[in-house]
Amino acid sequence: MLLNHLPLVNRRNFGLRQLLARLDYLPAEQLAKIEDAFEFAAAAHAGQKRRSGEPYITHPVAVASILAQLYLDYETIVAALLHDVIEDTPTAKTEIQARFGAEVAALVDGVSKLDQLSFTSRAEAQAESFRKMMLAMVEDIRVILVKLADRLHNMQTLDAMPPGKRQRIARETLDVYAPIANRLGINTIKTELEDLGFRHAFPYRYRVLDRAVRKAEGNQRQFLRKIEERLGKALKDAGIAGKVMGRKKHLYSIYRKMLRKKQPLSEIADVFAFRLIMPDADSCYRGLGIVHQLYKPMPGRFKDYIAIPRVNGYQSLHTVLLGPNGIPIEVQIRTEEMDCIAESGIAAHWQYKELGSQLDVVPPQARAREWLASISEIQKAADSVEFLEHVKVDLYPDKVYVFTPKGDILRLPRGSTCVDFAYAVHTDVGNRCVAAKIDRRLVPLRTTLNNGETVEIITARAARPNPAWVNFVVSAKARAAIRQFLKNLQQSEARELGRRLLDQSLRDFRSTLRKVGKEQMQRLLAELKLDHQNTLFEQIGLGERLAPVVAKVLLQEGAEAVAAADGAAAADGGKPQPITIAGTEGMVVSYARCCHPIPGDQIMGYLSAGRGVVIHRTTCGNLGEYRKQPHKWIPVTWEAGIDRDFSVEIRVDVDNKPGVLAEVATRIGDAESNIEQVSIDDSLEDTAVLVFSILVRDRRQLAHVIRRLRHMPVVRKVTRSCA
């Protein structure tokens, strides 16, 4: 061995010998590099201790040992030994890169936290650290394998932490890290993370359940042994060289099932189960027939994950049998390769690579890459905290399986809609979808999908996402893509509105944007510390800067007006010209819900920071705010010939008698107006008040609706609602 040149204390106490013994699958020259990494880490962490009192170097050695059990390559083992060096010591990434190479340095940097950056909250810091780790994982999936092993050893030694911190770390493990291990199919790490997280997050529940399961296991040990022997004999008689193994479901899985099904431990079917390891997939199906001959299967409890693997690449046949005395028995049937993938998931790739096997383990690799590609898309459309929430939603693989018209299978989260399906096919398909067919039947886009359905999406070139979709989509990819599109759309609309507002303000000073020179614009952008004039237009359109003040600065009325743009009034002696509203400005022009302005009304616009211009009627009670903030109110007018519907609210006092609502609603429909919403107040004995939100084109159509209602015998009074 190459240990002789190491300090004696390192050889004796820090677990390096045991680590190298586990790495016997690596060649000698790579073991030498691992020892070099150990020396480097031991020197960097010299004098540092863990909270338990152990030398700090024991932690990275333990992390490397966990990864060695997954047969990972030597770069990952080296990165595990060095993973805390950047974070906890003065060592720089460049130093690691110079000594161990760019690949190892990138892995170590991906795992490191963001202590150098400042954040507004602890939640933001954690989310940004998580975001960095996940994006590093997109580049190299080994980053998350090191992080999972790091978290596992921290959980194994969590008793040294104070109770409050212990609970916080345990809950974070259950919420994020165990689901990531599950998503990547690494069952060995996922199971231990869940049980350790359960023990520290809910210590009393853990102890009670652990005691109950141990007691049940003791009572049924002989009974389970007999079933195991009978299953083994049946396989042997059929000439199948299979292995039968009994297993106990891990505690957190039992606990979650008890919560989900609201059942006591005695009614959980698969606390104890059997696993049949078969020579090939054909034998798996033959074995299924054999166990169904021995014990009757429970209806509806069979799942074929060999034909349709889980999203993390897991493959197995699951069935629940009625055993002796009516006790349910779960049986899992899989090949040895499937069993390896079930336990190691994505890590099986390196295991078979290092062991020289030719096993094709592409499915877990391909599915992991597919997931990572979606992670890359999600991060473009969200800040750190949103990104963490999106990924957490995507981590729980409770999936529904549906078909494309070509017969391809798509796996979507349970509860997904046609819009989720469209975005799963491609982001452009989601952005342009207008309708959907399920099994050749036209359905609304918000229809929830069920297993086995064939879904076809109908698109239109001019279509774009509806903001309301965010309220019902389930998948993180769909939600992120919709928000990203709307964000870009809002920016585009804000720029156009801001350009119009600034040009109008310049006209009040007998100038225009065309007359303003490039030098003047560049000077203004420099004073405002903006990189492009589009950013300035966007800020004006969203109400974050005032167009009259910006116009004054452009016309060289003094740089002090820049400061005024963020708070001071932009009072001007002249009467500014109104901005024309066409009704098609999109998300940056909205219509106040307090007074429901429609074409034909006298209107004013309020500059609301972040929302753009909010249109109010001049008779609106909220216009009293004009006196307090006159600089935020701008004159606006309607463009002639607007062709779209606007929402307006009317109050109808009627005789309180049966059928009156239907009569009034019919009359509104006859006047070619649609009803959006209706509320009823029938607290008075003889009178009821109906408040309708209806769609009209302008004041003329509204007047027509009101006249039609006033001529009804049951109607006592009709008024238009206003704040």
The set of catalytic residues is: 87-88
Q: Where are the alpha helices (DSSP H) in 542-608?
A: 547-554, 560-564
SS3 199: helix
Residue whose token pair is 């359109």: 541
SS3 651: strand
Q: φ and ψ at 578, to 5 degrees?
A: -75, 150
589: part of which helix (H) or strand (E)? strand 589-591
Q: Work out the number of other CB atoms within 10 angstroms of the CB of residue 91.
A: 20
Dihedral in degrees, nearest 10, Cα atoms 394, 398, 400, 401 = 90
HEC profile for 318-357? Answer: EEEEECHHHCEEEEEEEEHHHHHHHHHHHHHHHHHHHCCC
Rounded distance between C-alpha atoms, residue 56 and residue 83, angstroms: 12
> Could you tell me the two tokens for 231?
């299953």
Q: Work out the number of other CB atoms within 10 angstroms of the CB of residue 582.
A: 13
Residue 18: half-sphere exposure toward Cβ, Cα within 13 Å: 13
Q: Where are the beta strands (DSSP E) in 376-454?
A: 399-403, 409-413, 433-438, 441-443
Residue 586 near residue 464, CB atoms below 8 Å: no
Rounded distance between C-alpha atoms, residue 343 and residue 364, angstroms: 12
Measured in Å, how far apart are the chain's first and last C-alpha atoms? 85
Amino acid identity of 298? M
DSSP 403: E
DSSP 406: T
> Could you tell me the two tokens for 689?
């008040």
